[in-house]
Amino acid sequence: MQDINNLSSKLKSESEKNQLKLIPQLVETGESGYQSLMIWMSSCQGNPVNLAIGKAYQALYQANTPETKKFLQTNFPQGVVPLVSDKNIDYTNLQQLLAQQDFQQADVVTIQKLCELAGSSAMERKWLYFTEVSSFPITDLQTIDWLWRVHSEGKFGFSVQRKIWISVGKDFTKLWPKIKWKDGNNWTRYPNEFIWDLSAPQGHLPLSNQLRGVRVINAILNHPAWSKQ
């Protein structure tokens, strides 16, 4: 059995990838593992967010003991991703749904937030014109993307979809089966055929409806938010 002190000292020095593996090992040790995660997270305050901090947050959130609850409320009341917006949009709701791993409701709220970014006519229409996407602020798209990635161990988010899309030569017909939006000739049916947990393939969420064609997702995946990361 790995010594707890050894695990927690490793957490400080290891790469993000190894930190991700250490976190479940610490969780297995119970109370003392949570302690180490809290100490480590405190020392990370002010650091740029990464997937390991996100995973530690998720572990403490799910532990849901009086101590972990109090710790998160005191130190990370808004979660680990700074909820920054250039359009004064409130991402608290999205953060909370993702922290709870309610990916289905988070997906609905993501569509709403994109409409909010596009303005009042899109909010009434409840879907986007592709021409509205280019005016989305980089800041807001990055906030939404970080929220998805950090609460999914890097599995979900637009930038994850973009990487896969680039890997298939920007060919949407090749992207769909990779992210399970299509199986052979059959579109995956909304909402019940989609996978609303972490057993989904990389890039499965968030969804964008293809009923009106690929131009909206094409505009999202081409947005400068991703090239500046």
Note the residues at the interface with ligand UYC (CB under 6 A): 111, 127, 181, 187-188, 190, 207-211
**DSSP states of 3-24:** -HHHHHHHHHHS-HHHHHHHHH
- Report which of 120, 122, 80 is spatially closest to residue 99, judged by C-alpha positions: 80
Report in angstroms how near the CB of residue 188 gets to ligand UYC at its nearest: 5
- Name residue, tokens 């390991």: 52
Give whichever of 21 and 125 is closer to ligand UYC, judged by the CB atom.
Answer: 125
CB of 202 to ligand UYC, least distance (A): 15
- Of 111 and 168, the one with the shorter C-beta distance to ligand UYC is 111
Q: Which of 142, 156, 143, 37 is nearest to 101 (CA)?
A: 156
Nearer Cβ to ligand UYC (76/181): 181
Provide, rounded to whole angstroms, the least separation between the CB of residue 139 and ligand UYC.
24
**Rounded-to-integer distance, Cα 135 and Cα 162, Å:** 18
Find all residues with CB under 8 Å of 160, minimum gap 6, and list them.
148, 149, 154, 202, 203
Burial class (CB in 10 A: 0-12, 13-18, 19+), 163: middle
Q: Based on CB atoms, which residue is closest to ligand UYC, 91 or 181?
A: 181
| Sign of CA pseudo-dihedral 37, 42, 43, 49 | positive
Least gap, CB of 160 to ligand UYC (angstroms): 15
Nearest distance from C-beta of residue 48 to ligand UYC, angstroms: 31
Provide, rounded to whole angstroms, the least separation between the CB of residue 32 and ligand UYC. Answer: 43
Q: How far is the CB of 217 from ligand UYC (least distance, A)?
A: 9
Distance CA 152, CA 103 (A): 9
Distance CA 184, CA 200 (A): 17
Residue nearest to ligand UYC (CB): 210
Nearer to ligand UYC, 87 or 182 (CB): 182
- Nearer to ligand UYC by C-beta: 1 or 211? 211
Residue 73: which H helix or E strand, with range?
helix 66-75
- 4 vs 164 by CB, closer to ligand UYC: 164
